[in-house]
Structure 1
């Protein structure tokens, strides 16, 4: 059954035939402007770009244009809905890039689930874009696609389901730890539920930030060396995880300071939160239904609760990150996205919230804060230049 909000959304999409459109930057008003925009004047522009490829960033849309690519196999809250079903979501992503980061973007939904075909298509279209945003690819395929494209392309490739989620989660956690007076990163015990795209990236970014007591559980329990059923990408995580026996998520949670959920709805109860350390921090990011409701988490003693939902405080949502990240990537003409750039983005988000004033109900900025994308972009550019990954 379609909700009232859903009906309103359908009518709005119908009214505008989607959410995005192409806009000309100057008017073709006469024969002279026509000759400048197209033939014969454009021939000299094309030859100049051919002979000086770096000028494509200045003379074409490449310098301000991103591509949002998906095969629709892992759409948030919807699952595998295919390329056409995914198109409204990708349009929405493009709309947020423009609205919050002033980044022009094009959605590209692919009618293939084949890894090799996806990589080949993105490689083939990459010359037209200054950055590539991968969205809603199923795991573990998503890891290989991003890794292969990063090795092939000279523009940044960013899988937002992985890194966008991790960046905003880290920003929120930095501030949650401030509020709970946990100053020693190496002693903070963190349990992550879900070993898919988001969970893996969260673990890696948290480790890069300096956390050392990180555990992660999949649907079968703790990801650990004694298990013989681990996929290769999970085995690659083992060096950064706390040594463990194959215990359950709830057993891992005992004494933990932080729970980060990137898994499934309603898997925890208040009793589980009660087993955590004093003033527990709970990020239940499964959407639209979190791993534990705010009411149950608070009944269990959660001091800070964050979720992916816009109707609750502390929305740990990618929209806080990717518009500013892509603004920064394009402005400095980055070659790729490094761990240092991701850390810089997370710290910029955290610092902006600190300037606005922290509380248990406000650990991240408002997505409508006009300063947000600017400070994130600036931080990303600074990190890119420091690492020699910027062209400008």
Structure 2
């Protein structure tokens, strides 16, 4: 049963004020002195301080807590190439998630551009405004090129969430699933259906976690990617197998199936042909490549994850990008690198092994949750994710040498994050209730 009607969804965004985000001041401006400090002539003091020391922008402006969510609307999840204007509601929604989960401010930038190079030029020119760039819903293979160039030429974090968000969260689940099933990463055979942004990024990230590149069998809309097949871009070639084979053939003996394609691609016979205790992350939206019931019916010992909230082991990017950016911003990282992403995945994996508080169980209307087949990834609404994942990302940034403002006390930092979110939550609640 749907949680809402079409009209309810539209009314939610339409009234009492169009859209779901708003820019509000953080300082009072109710008298002559405050007005003069906010703008003229007092603003010159901050300007001059930044001229003297550019790093002072983190003290006197909101830049260090401001992320651009950038999209051309060419690959909006579940909707396709709908363009930047129609994609704007999604980017506004992304801004709400950044704020609600990590107290990060967002401007959504929906760009009407002709090609990847034009998008790159626009985003590069915006570096003085933002502390980080979140690329969103940009079609492959252009998204790979865009991120590579921007990461190389900008001095702030650039992160394409469609690639790395899915990779980090599913990677956390994969680490725990391998432990539960007694599998070693280097020995696992992985079948991936979907060779777009998320599929290729997941494959590369799994290699970082220990999967052997030659053990990855990747399929696109034309079948298995193999050497000598025409029309392959350089990103797909990285995972080309020696010879052609069908999906059913590749599924035999496979330890892992990752689906980022469309529903009903995987049969129960395919699941039965997989290795013992198979790991199945079927994340086609809204219906997975094989249903939860069918997968469990074929092999009750499989570890099954989807992108849905109504089944166990939800792979949800909101468990990644807000916290990764929070950690990166707080140490003023110049990039989000592989070490930081791996740290995020391992922190999530470790958290899943901790006892789950009753309030989290209540939020999901279950009596209990514990580490095992049906709980290998922490729930997206678990507030502890902030205190586990964000410090791990910050520490990895410092350890890998990309942090310009290191944090000495990571335990104290974790406490400050909790306090920050409590204060932010109160502000948001008060502000939202004023519109009811």
- Structure 2 length normalisation: TM-score? 0.86
In structure 2, C-alpha distance between the alignment counterparts of 1:126 and 1:309, rounded to whole Å: 35
Partner of 1:19: 20
Verify the 8 A CA contact 1:217 1:248 in the aligned structure 2: no
Partner of 2:188: 188
Partner of 1:209: 209
Partner of 2:41: 40
Task: Give 1:273 deviation, angstroms.
Answer: 0.9
In structure 1, C-alpha distance between the alignment counterparts of 2:383 and 2:34, rounded to whole Å: 36
In structure 2, C-alpha distance between the alignment counterparts of 1:229 and 1:114, rounded to whole Å: 20
SS at match of 2:285: coil
Alignment of structure 1 residues 67-78 onto 2, 5 Å: 67-78=68-79
Q: Which runs of 5+ in 1 are unaligned?
A: none
Q: Deviations over 1:164-219 (max 9, x none)?
A: 0000000011111222122x211111111111100111011100111112221112
Partner of 1:307: 306
Greater mean deviation of Cα atoms: 67-76 or 5-14: 5-14
Partner of 1:375: 388
In structure 2, C-alpha distance between the alignment counterparts of 1:266 and 1:113, rounded to whole Å: 35
Task: Give 1:3 deviation, angstroms.
Answer: 8.6
Task: Give 1:119 deviation, angstroms.
Answer: 0.6
Partner of 1:316: 315
Partner of 2:243: 245
In structure 1, C-alpha distance between the alignment counterparts of 2:3 and 2:65, rounded to whole Å: 37
Verify the 8 A CA contact 1:270 1:298 in the aligned structure 2: no
The alignment covers a number of residue pairs equal to 386
Partner of 2:229: 227
Alignment of structure 1 residues 1-392 onto 2, 5 Å: 4-15=4-15, 16-182=17-183, 184-212=184-212, 213-235=215-237, 237-238=238-239, 243-301=241-299, 303-356=302-355, 357-392=370-405
In structure 1, C-alpha distance between the alignment counterparts of 2:344 and 2:110, rounded to whole Å: 27
Aligned-residue CA RMSD (Å) = 1.5
SS at match of 1:217: strand
Tell me which of the two structures has the higher relative contact order, counting C-alpha pairs closer than 8 angstroms and 6 or more residues apart: 1
In structure 2, C-alpha distance between the alignment counterparts of 1:34 and 1:53, rounded to whole Å: 24
Task: Give 1:288 deviation, angstroms.
Answer: 1.3
Greater mean deviation of Cα atoms: 378-387 or 305-314: 305-314
In structure 2, C-alpha distance between the alignment counterparts of 1:325 and 1:376, rounded to whole Å: 7
Verify the 8 A CA contact 1:255 1:277 in the aligned structure 2: yes
In structure 2, C-alpha distance between the alignment counterparts of 1:34 and 1:354, rounded to whole Å: 52
In structure 2, C-alpha distance between the alignment counterparts of 1:6 and 1:270, rounded to whole Å: 34
Verify the 8 A CA contact 1:220 1:248 in the aligned structure 2: no
SS at match of 1:283: strand
Verify the 8 A CA contact 1:324 1:375 in the aligned structure 2: no
SS at match of 1:314: coil
SS at match of 1:195: coil
Task: Give 1:63 deviation, angstroms.
Answer: 0.7
4+ aligned runs moved over 6 Å, structure 1: none
In structure 2, C-alpha distance between the alignment counterparts of 1:331 and 1:55, rounded to whole Å: 14
Q: Deviations over 1:141-176 (max 9, x none)?
A: 100110111111100100000000000000011111
In structure 2, C-alpha distance between the alignment counterparts of 1:188 and 1:232, rounded to whole Å: 24
Task: Give 1:4 deviation, angstroms.
Answer: 4.0
Task: Give 1:51 deviation, angstroms.
Answer: 2.9
In structure 2, C-alpha distance between the alignment counterparts of 1:289 and 1:279, rounded to whole Å: 23
In structure 2, C-alpha distance between the alignment counterparts of 1:113 and 1:144, rounded to whole Å: 15
SS at match of 2:195: coil
SS at match of 2:340: helix
